[in-house]
A = this chain, B = another copy of it.
Amino acid sequence: MRTVTYFFIFLNLSLAVFEEPAVYPLPFLVTSLVEVLCLLVFFGRLTHFAKVTFRNVFWKDTKNICIMVAILLSLTDLAIYGVLRIYNVSSIRWSRIVRPIFLINFAESRQIRRAFRSIRNTLPEITYVFLLFMFSLLMFSLMALKLFGERNLQTAEGLPYFKNYLGIVFDLYVLVTTANSPDVMMPAFDFSSWYALFFIAFVIVNTYIFMSLFLAVVYNNYKKHLKNEIRKLAYMKHRKMIEAFNLLKEEEGAQFVVREARWKELVKLVAPDISSSHRELLLRISDDEQKGFIDKKSFVQLADLLNIQVVTLKIRSHPLNQWMPRVYKSAVSQFLRSMVRHRGFVWTYDVIILINAVFIALDEASPYISYAEWVFLALYITEILLKVYTYEPRAFFGKNQFWNWFDTLIIFAALTATILNTTLKSTTKYNSQQILDIVFILRVLRLIRIVDSIQRFRVIMNTLINIVPTMLTFGGLTLVVYCVFAIIGMELFHGKIQFFPANSNAPYALECGNPALKDSLFARGKYCKNNFNNFVSSFIVLMELTVVNQWHVFANGFAKVTVQPAKLYFIAFHIVMVIIIVNIFVSFILEAFFVEYSLEKSEVETAIEQKIQELGMGVQEDKLQDEQLLDNMESDEHDLEGEGGTKRQTKGLVFKIASKHPPVHTLVSSQSMKMLLWWLRSCCCQETCLLLFTLLVQDG
C-alpha cells in the first residue's frame, strides 16, 4: 500500500522530467494521462482513508483537505491548459508547484510533515532575528554608500563600485554568505587600508554572529518542538497501554492482572515475527517471580520491551560440518579456520588493500597492472570464501553485518563489471566507458573496507550509518523545496541561457547564446550548462546554490538575461534552503551525534540484559567488539553444554541487545510508527530521553 502510494507520488513528481521543458520529451497527451492516473490513485487512497476513519476526524485533518484542494487545482489547471493548447494559446502549468503537497500530506510521510511543522514553529522567532539582520544589513549598506559612493572607485571588472543603494545591499548580502569575500572589499582596501575595518566589522557582525544566531534559533526551536512531540507520543502510548490492560485484565487476589496465556496470545498477535525463545525471555522479565500472571506495571512496560531489539543468535553449526563433518573437522580445515580467525588475517588483507590502492593510482596502460587487478579480485574473493567457510554463512550474512554485505556486493559487482568489460574489449574492441567508470568506482570503493579494521573509525562510521535514515527525511524536505524552486525557476529562466559544446559554431556560443552575458562573470566562468532549461539541470543549479559559493554570479547572470528583480529568486532560495533547511540539517547531525556518543543504556534495557545474564545466555559485550564474534559464540555454546541442567532448554541460543539507543525506540510502539523511530532516535537529546524514559518506566 505504502509502496504504491510512494510510487505514484514519485511518478507524479518525475513528470516534470517529461513535460515541457523536458529532458526526455513526451507528447502532452501521455503526460496528462499519467497525471490524471496519479490523481485518481491519490483520490482513491484518500477515499479509502476516509472510510477507515471517523467522519469528523477525517474532515478536521488539514492534510486531507490539502490533498483534495491539490487534486482539484491540478485537474483545473490541466483542463485549462489542455483547452488553451487546442487553441494554441500558450499558458503556464502553474499547478505543477502543488505536486510536492502530495509528498508531504499523505499519512506515510509523517517525518517530512514533522520537519515542516518544526520549521513552521521556528518561523516566528527566525523572522525576528531575520528582521534584525536585515536592519543591520541596511545600516551597513547605508554606511558603505556614504563612505565609498563618491570615491569613484571601480571593481576588478571596471564597473562602478558601491554607487547604487540596492546594488550595495545585494553585494553585502552576498558578502554575508562569504561568496564574494575578498573581491567586494578589494577596491576600497586598495584605496585605503583603513576601509578593511568596515568589512571586518561587517563580516564579524553579520556572517559570524548573525549566521550563528540563525543556527542557534533553529536548533533551539527544533529541540523544544521535538521534546513536546516526544512527550505527547509517550503520553499517548502510556494511555493506550493502560486501555489495553483494562480490556484484558482479570481479578487475581487484590489486584487486576493479565494472565500468562492471554499475554502470550497478545504478544504473538502484536509481534508475530519474534522467536518463541525471545517471547519466553520477555515473559520472564515481565513476570519476574513466575507467578503466572503479569501486573499492570509490567504490562505497561511491554511496548518498551518489544521495541528493544534483542538479537536471537541461533548457534548453528556450520552446514559443512553437518554435511561432511570428517572433512570440516580435519586438521587442515581446523588450521585454515584458526588462521582466518587470527588477527593476522585481517592485517594481511589490510596490507593487500593498501597495495591495491597504489596499483589503482598507477597508470592503467601497462598490461602488468591490469593483470594485477585480476590478482586482487581473486584475493578478495578468496577472502570472502574463506570467511564463509570459517563462520556460519547465515550469521555472516546476518541482518546487522553491514560490512560483510558491503564487501560481498562490491566485490561481486566489480567481478561482473570487470568480466563484462574484458569480454566487450576482446570481442568488439569497444571499451565501454560507462562500464569502465563503474569498474573504477567499485575498485576504489573496495578500499573503504580498511576503515572497518580500525576500532575508532568503525565507531564514527557506525554513527554515520545510523544517521542515514534521518538524513533521508532531510532528503525528502530538500526534494520538496527543490521541486518548488525548480518549477518556478523553469518558468522564469527557461531557454534564456543555453549550453553549446566547446566546438560549436552557434552565435554567441561563448556568451551562452545570449548577448546580454557578454563579459559577464557567468560567461567567463563557463557556467552555461548551469541553466533552468529542464528539470534535471534545475536541480543541479539548485544544488550549486545550496553550496552557496558563486551564487551571486548565477544571480547576476540570470538577472542580466531577464530583469534585475530576478535576483530575488536567488535570495529567496538562499534564505529558505541555506538559512533554514541546512541549519536544520546541521541540528539533526549535532543531535544525532550527541545521542550516539553519550547515550547510556536505559533501565529497561538493563533489565533485559540482567535477565539474559541470569539465564546464562548472555554474550559478553566486549567479546562482541572484534570480528571474532561468531568464533566466541561457538565457545559459548561449549560452556552452555558443559553446564547442563535447566539451561539445556536454551542450548544453542544466545541473546544480545542489538541497539545501543533504545530510549527513543521504546517510546513508539505501533507498527505504523516504526518509520518514525529513526527520526526520533537521531533527534532526541540525552536529557529528554532519560527524563521521558523515567516518566515511562515509573508507572503512576
Q: Is A437 an interface residue (CB 8 A)?
A: yes
A120-164 interface mask toward B, CB cutoff 8 Å, 1 = contact, 0 = none?
Answer: 000000001101100100010011011100100000100000000
Q: Cβ of A142: which chain B residues have Cβ within 8 Å of it?
A: 357, 360-361, 444, 447
- A82-90, A175-183, A282-290, A660-668 - interface stretch: A175-183
Partner pick for A547 among B181, B364, B445, B593, CB 8 A cutoff: B181
Q: How far is the CA of A612 from the CA of B461 in the complex (A)?
A: 56
Q: How far is the CA of A165 from the CA of B524 in the complex (A)?
A: 27
A161-192 interface mask toward B, CB cutoff 8 Å, 1 = contact, 0 = none?
Answer: 00001000000000000111111011001100
Contact: B598 with A208, CB < 8 Å?
no
Partner pick for A525 among B156, B447, B456, B590, CB 8 A cutoff: B156
Q: How many copies does the complex hold?
A: 2
Contact: B598 with A220, CB < 8 Å?
yes
Contact: B586 with A361, CB < 8 Å?
no
Q: Cβ of A607: which chain B residues have Cβ within 8 Å of it?
A: none
Q: Cβ of A456: which chain B residues have Cβ within 8 Å of it?
A: 128
Q: Is A196 an interface residue (CB 8 A)?
A: yes
Known: A129-B460, A460-B129, A593-B220. A451 touches B135 (CB 8 A): yes
Looking at the assembled complex, report how far the CB atom of A126 sits from the nearest CB atom of chain B, in whole angstroms: 11
Q: Is A490 an interface residue (CB 8 A)?
A: no
Q: Is A569 an interface residue (CB 8 A)?
A: no
Q: Is A219 an interface residue (CB 8 A)?
A: yes
Contact: B131 with A457, CB < 8 Å?
yes
Q: How far is the CA of A220 from the CA of B501 in the complex (A)?
A: 49
Q: Cβ of A568: which chain B residues have Cβ within 8 Å of it?
A: none
Contact: A182 with B460, CB < 8 Å?
no
Q: Cβ of A687: which chain B residues have Cβ within 8 Å of it?
A: 687
Q: How far is the CA of A348 from the CA of B283 in the complex (A)?
A: 75
Q: Cβ of A448: which chain B residues have Cβ within 8 Å of it?
A: 139
Chain B residue nearest to A205 in the complex (CB): B464
Chain B residue nearest to A526 in the complex (CB): B156
Contact: A457 with B593, CB < 8 Å?
no
Q: Is A543 an interface residue (CB 8 A)?
A: yes
Q: Please classify the interface of chain A as helix (H, G, I), strand (E, B), loop, or mixed, using the class held by over half of its residues.
A: helix
Q: Is A215 an interface residue (CB 8 A)?
A: yes
Q: Cβ of A165: which chain B residues have Cβ within 8 Å of it?
A: 361
Contact: B146 with A529, CB < 8 Å?
no
Q: How far is the CA of A179 from the CA of B178 in the complex (A)?
A: 9
Q: How far is the CA of A451 from the CA of B139 in the complex (A)?
A: 12
Q: Is A263 an interface residue (CB 8 A)?
A: no
Q: How far is the CA of A531 from the CA of B45 in the complex (A)?
A: 66
Contact: A461 with B132, CB < 8 Å?
yes
Contact: B219 with A179, CB < 8 Å?
no
Contact: A217 with B180, CB < 8 Å?
no
Q: Is A548 an interface residue (CB 8 A)?
A: yes
Q: How far is the CA of A215 from the CA of B499 in the complex (A)?
A: 39
Q: Cβ of A585: which chain B residues have Cβ within 8 Å of it?
A: 208, 212
Partner pick for A146 among B360, B451, B526, CB 8 A cutoff: B360
Q: How far is the CA of A213 from the CA of B548 in the complex (A)?
A: 19
Q: Cβ of A208: which chain B residues have Cβ within 8 Å of it?
A: 582, 585
Q: How far is the CA of A188 from the CA of B526 in the complex (A)?
A: 12
Q: Cβ of A437: which chain B residues have Cβ within 8 Å of it?
A: 147
Q: How far is the CA of A364 from the CA of B464 in the complex (A)?
A: 58
Contact: B182 with A544, CB < 8 Å?
yes
Task: Report the interface size class on chain A.
Answer: 35 or more
Q: Which of A501-559 contact B (CB under 8 A)?
A: 501-502, 524-527, 529-530, 536-537, 540, 543-544, 547-550
Q: How far is the CA of A207 from the CA of B594 in the complex (A)?
A: 19
Partner pick for A179 among B139, B460, B549, CB 8 A cutoff: B549
Q: Is A441 an interface residue (CB 8 A)?
A: yes
A375-405 interface mask toward B, CB cutoff 8 Å, 1 = contact, 0 = none?
Answer: 0000000000000000000000000000000
Q: How far is the CA of A145 from the CA of B360 in the complex (A)?
A: 10
Q: Is A203 an interface residue (CB 8 A)?
A: yes
Known: A360-B146, A525-B182, A525-B186. A128 touches B460 (CB 8 A): yes
Contact: B203 with A547, CB < 8 Å?
yes
Known: A190-B499, A529-B190. A146 touches B216 (CB 8 A): no
Looking at the assembled complex, report how far the CB atom of A616 sits from the nearest CB atom of chain B, in whole angstroms: 37
Q: Is A193 an interface residue (CB 8 A)?
A: yes
Q: Which of A576-623 contact B (CB under 8 A)?
A: 582, 585-586, 589-590, 593-594, 597-598
Q: Cβ of A179: which chain B residues have Cβ within 8 Å of it?
A: 549
Q: Is A40 an interface residue (CB 8 A)?
A: no
Known: A212-B590, A593-B213. A529 touches B186 (CB 8 A): yes
Q: Cβ of A145: which chain B residues have Cβ within 8 Å of it?
A: 361
Q: Cβ of A143: which chain B residues have Cβ within 8 Å of it?
A: 440-441, 444
Q: Cβ of A361: which chain B residues have Cβ within 8 Å of it?
A: 142, 145, 165
Q: Cβ of A549: which chain B residues have Cβ within 8 Å of it?
A: 178-182, 549
Chain B residue nearest to A156 in the complex (CB): B526
Q: Is A200 an interface residue (CB 8 A)?
A: yes
Q: Cβ of A266: which chain B residues have Cβ within 8 Å of it?
A: none
Q: How far is the CA of A448 from the CA of B136 in the complex (A)?
A: 8
Q: How far is the CA of A11 from the CA of B554 in the complex (A)?
A: 47
Contact: A540 with B444, CB < 8 Å?
no
Q: Is A209 an interface residue (CB 8 A)?
A: yes
Chain B residue nearest to A179 in the complex (CB): B549
Q: Cβ of A540: which chain B residues have Cβ within 8 Å of it?
A: 189, 193, 196, 200
Q: How far is the CA of A113 from the CA of B135 in the complex (A)?
A: 36
Contact: A447 with B526, CB < 8 Å?
no
Given A182-B530, A216-B590, 10 further pairs, Cβ under 8 A: A129-B460, A132-B460, A146-B444, A150-B364, A181-B547, A189-B529, A190-B526, A209-B464, A213-B464, A220-B597
Interface CB pairs A-B, < 8 A, 22:
A128-B456, A132-B457, A132-B461, A139-B445, A142-B357, A143-B440, A147-B441, A150-B364, A178-B547, A178-B548, A179-B549, A181-B548, A182-B550, A186-B527, A186-B529, A190-B499, A190-B529, A193-B536, A196-B543, A209-B589, A216-B594, A220-B593
Sorted nearest first, the 5 A-B pairs with minimum C-beta distance are A181-B549, A216-B593, A146-B440, A212-B589, A178-B549
